[in-house]
Structure 1
Amino acid sequence: MSDTDTMVATAMKSEIDTPHTRHAILIVDDDPDLRVLTRRFLKKHGYTSVEAEDGDAALSLLQTLYDDHEPLPDLVLMDARMPGMDGFEACRRIRQTEWGDRLPLLMVTGMDDRQSVDEAFEAGASDYLTKPIHWDLLRQRIRKEIYARETNDALALAKAKLDQERYFVEDILTRMREKAPLNDRKLRVLFEPVDISSGDMVLSGMTPEGAHYAMLGDVTGHGLPAALIGPLVSDIFYSMTNKGFAPETIIREMHRQMRAKLPTGLYMAGCWASLNPRRDHLFVWMGGMPSGMIVRNGELLQHLETNSSPLGILPNELFDTSGVTIPVEPSDHIVFHTDGIIETTDPEGELLGQERADQLILQTLRSNHPLIAIKQFLDRFHGDAGQSDDITLMDLIV
């Protein structure tokens, strides 16, 4: 960096930091007389300014300010046609820097030079002005560009604050519903959320009599609205399970509370599996979930199908909590999963589907692989298409 660059950068910092100064503008033009006229005009309307005689000097000045952690100007007013590095090239290079992508940049072009106007926008100019300069129009363009920049900065700051608050709230809600360890030898869980928090949940608990209750839920949507259901459902599940209530009673209370406390349109598909204390009979209730399965010795024994609507939709008197009771044997696997698995798509948009999902799960169980092998397969299947929904699987082992 030359001594001249340092002196100019120091002078500009002084201009920008001057008390009562609202905005600073960098004037880039090889015509010293026009720079003087522009500087006087800007000063008359309350702006401070600093000058550069060509694109190279402007780029060097801006980089120096950035490297020294000094404030950049609020706007750059750049002539298009200059010797050395012209305005088009300077604009392109500014936009390529880590600091110049949002810097307002007005390009000054010839009156009838349509090609220059097109080139200015292609180079990244925010707007343009034609020569001879219409001074009132220049004032309006400057006000518009600076206002737009300040508005965008304020929106970005507000969004960052909201994102941080959302993260904290979602983290709190997620922790509130995680009341019991899930991955013990009798219950395995694959849980891969697509967002910070998830609308999927797995709950597991023992009654005083020794029955094992487990539930998989899939709330509509993602993020904060979906996460709000977690603490409500979790609290009902654990408090009533600890008191030994029947599965149908707990499911009905979840539905009633969701209908009473949540806004319309927010509901939860779910499936319930409970083993009696002797672990020889399974009670299953399913509301709006993909087919589950009972697997014995690595082979599909039977599918488990939805027999009710999701929780939180129907009026209380129409909601069906009846399920089915099925005899089971030691080492049987009762497997449920959310629709994030069967709705995984490859880069061409083809769904994995229920049949291939069943084969994937069976192969994983036969090979005695950890459940993460399912997620690894899905990652290969969707490729660059990415994961679009929460993926959760519950494997209850008799």
Structure 2
Amino acid sequence: MSRALKVLIADDSETDRIILRTIVQKEGHDVILAKNGKEAVSHFQQYKPDLILLDVLMPVMDGHEAARQIKRLLGDDLVPIIFLTSLQDADSLATCLEVGGDDFLSKPYNRVILKAKIMAFGRMRVMHEKLQAHNRQMLIEQQVAKTIFDNVAHSGCLTLDNIRFSLSPLSVFNGDTVLAERKPDGGIHLFLGDFTGHGLPAAIGAMPLAEIFYGMTAKGFSVDEVLREINSRLQSILPIGVFCCGCFVELNLFEKKARIWLGGLPDIVMYRSKTNEFETISSSNLPLGVLASHKFSPSIIELP
């Protein structure tokens, strides 16, 4: 047996209210009565019904305006509205749906049809509640996982005064990766990456990438060596079609030189403050994780 619902019935006709209340209560549901649209909105806020039976033509506030106000109050929640109407023309029925109604029931009321509609929308509401609960749980799990991910992927020196970056992800998890770490000789390694895809699958590869980047940089390995190890790891663990486009920069702050590797990303722009000039650097490498280790040979640009 389906669970009992709280059903709000709004109709200016006392006779119709009694008929509907009798039918709905016989099906085991609780009933809340309203005499007009304004009262229906007030009762909706007070009693939080699961389903609304709403007459179209009522004094004080008609059913159309009541439906609009209730839908605004609902936000992302679902409370089905079934319009009660003696109107039969297509335009009037279409208006009922346009203002926020989910269905309509023609007068005089058929008990079998009313029972079926209440059961159907009751099931829909239960499914919606389960979906919302699932989404809330998924967001909680994603936030926990993101905290762990951030602790691993963003544990370097991105907060240095001479580093500025901006990320605008479309989801909690994504394939955008920004890494920075100091080298033992005083230099800095920077990495900007973008994994194929979206969401959690795109972010999975960033974990081993960040682990290798930070670990090898802290031990003084060069950009060539770090890239080879990252490519080897990604090529062995990522499925076909998933790879990482990236830009790896090795800065020598004492000699004021840079070594840049660019694979799969659009052109990057370098600005020289002394000459006030911009230089464009194009990719000459495949993304990381595409080539097998013995075929991977990073082409690195030396910049004074």
> TM (normalized to structure 1)?
0.66
1:74 paired with 2:56, answer: no
The structure-2 alpha-carbon separation of the partners of 1:132 and 1:302, relative to structure 1 and needing over 3 Å to count, comes to closer
The structure-2 alpha-carbon separation of the partners of 1:45 and 1:308, relative to structure 1 and needing over 3 Å to count, comes to same
Q: Residue 264 of structure 2 corresponds to which residue in structure 1? A: 288
Query: Residues 195-216 of structure 1, C-alpha deviation per residue, up to 9 Å, x if partnerless?
Result: 5466121222214xx2624132
Cα pair 1:217 1:268 within 8 Å, conserved? no
Q: Residue 212 of structure 1 corresponds to which residue in structure 2? A: 187
One of 138, 147, 167 as aligned partner of 1:192: 167
Q: Residue 33 of structure 1 corresponds to which residue in structure 2? A: 15
One of 236, 239, 243 as aligned partner of 1:267: 243
1:156 paired with 2:132, answer: yes
The structure-2 alpha-carbon separation of the partners of 1:321 and 1:47, relative to structure 1 and needing over 3 Å to count, comes to same
**Separation (CA, whole Å) in 2 of partners of 1:292 and 1:113:** 63
| Counterpart residue type for residue 206 of structure 1 | K
Cα pair 1:174 1:227 within 8 Å, conserved? no
Q: How big is the shift at 1:236?
A: 1.0
| Counterpart residue type for residue 166 of structure 2 | F
Q: How big is the shift at 1:192?
A: 3.1
The structure-2 alpha-carbon separation of the partners of 1:168 and 1:26, relative to structure 1 and needing over 3 Å to count, comes to same
**Separation (CA, whole Å) in 1 of partners of 2:286 and 2:252:** 25
The structure-2 alpha-carbon separation of the partners of 1:288 and 1:41, relative to structure 1 and needing over 3 Å to count, comes to same
Q: Mind listing any 5+ residue stretches in structure 1 that lack a counterpart?
A: 1-19, 66-70, 329-398
The structure-2 alpha-carbon separation of the partners of 1:99 and 1:32, relative to structure 1 and needing over 3 Å to count, comes to farther
Cα pair 2:227 2:298 within 8 Å, conserved? yes
**Separation (CA, whole Å) in 1 of partners of 2:72 and 2:256:** 67
Q: Residue 48 of structure 1 corresponds to which residue in structure 2? A: 30
The structure-2 alpha-carbon separation of the partners of 1:180 and 1:134, relative to structure 1 and needing over 3 Å to count, comes to same
Q: What percent of counterpart residues are identical? A: 26
Corresponding residue SS for 1:252? helix
Cα pair 2:189 2:217 within 8 Å, conserved? no
| Counterpart residue type for residue 26 of structure 1 | L
Q: Mind listing any 5+ residue stretches in structure 2 that lack a counterpart?
A: none
One of 40, 56, 61 as aligned partner of 2:43: 61
How large is the RMSD of aligned CA atoms in angstroms? 2.9
One of 98, 101, 105 as aligned partner of 1:125: 101
Corresponding residue SS for 2:43? helix
| Counterpart residue type for residue 313 of structure 1 | V
Kindly report which structure 2 residues correspond to 1:249-264, keeping only aligned pairs within 5 A, or say none: 249-264=225-240
Corresponding residue SS for 1:192? coil
Kindly report which structure 2 residues correspond to 1:1-398, keeping only aligned pairs within 5 A, or say none: 22-63=4-45, 65=46, 71-97=47-73, 102-110=78-86, 112-184=88-160, 187-195=162-170, 196=172, 199-207=176-184, 210=185, 212-220=187-195, 221-275=197-251, 279=255, 282-289=258-265, 290-293=267-270, 295=272, 297-300=274-277, 303-326=280-303, 328=304
The number of aligned residues is 299
The structure-2 alpha-carbon separation of the partners of 1:30 and 1:247, relative to structure 1 and needing over 3 Å to count, comes to closer
Corresponding residue SS for 1:321? coil
Question: Runs of at least 4 residues of structure 1 off by over 4 A?
Answer: 98-101, 195-198, 275-278
Corresponding residue SS for 1:307? coil
The structure-2 alpha-carbon separation of the partners of 1:243 and 1:43, relative to structure 1 and needing over 3 Å to count, comes to same
Q: Residue 362 of structure 1 corresponds to which residue in structure 2? A: none
Query: Residues 253-286 of structure 1, C-alpha deviation per residue, up to 9 Å, x if partnerless?
Result: 1001011122333322223333569626543322
Query: Residues 202-241 of structure 1, C-alpha deviation per residue, up to 9 Å, x if partnerless?
Result: 222214xx26241322223454334333331122122223
**Separation (CA, whole Å) in 1 of partners of 2:28 and 2:136:** 31
Higher mean Cα deviation, 142-151 or 315-324?
A: 315-324
Cα pair 2:78 2:128 within 8 Å, conserved? no
**Separation (CA, whole Å) in 2 of partners of 1:241 and 1:88:** 65
**Separation (CA, whole Å) in 1 of partners of 2:177 and 2:234:** 16
Cα pair 1:25 1:75 within 8 Å, conserved? yes
Cα pair 1:23 1:74 within 8 Å, conserved? yes
Q: How big is the shift at 1:104?
A: 1.4
Q: How big is the shift at 1:98?
A: 5.0
